[in-house]
Amino acid sequence: MTMGTVAAIGARTSVGGLALAGVDVRIAEDPDAVRQAWRDLPGTVELVILTVPAAQALEATATVPDPSRPLTVVMP
């Protein structure tokens, strides 16, 4: 059984350091970039860490995660 990967979406200053832990960091500095990063996630991603602004960008356009997509968590 193969384990999926973890990705993070958000501003460089918030998620950049997660790359040191092996997280697939997707830098997204504005809402359009967040939505594009979400659409571009590979199928192997099982967990997505979102910054608060990234989560808000996804919610604002009804691009909210659904059960067929990866588990998501919003950074405090």
pTM of the model: 0.87
Question: Is domain 5-74 in CATH 3.40.50.10580, yes or no?
Answer: yes
- Which sequence spans correspond to the domains of the chain? 5-74
Tens-place pLDDT, residues 25-65? 999 999 999 999 999 999 899 999 999 999 999 987 665 55
pLDDT of 17 strictly over 70: yes
Nearest in space to 54 (alpha carbons), one of 36, 31, 73? 31
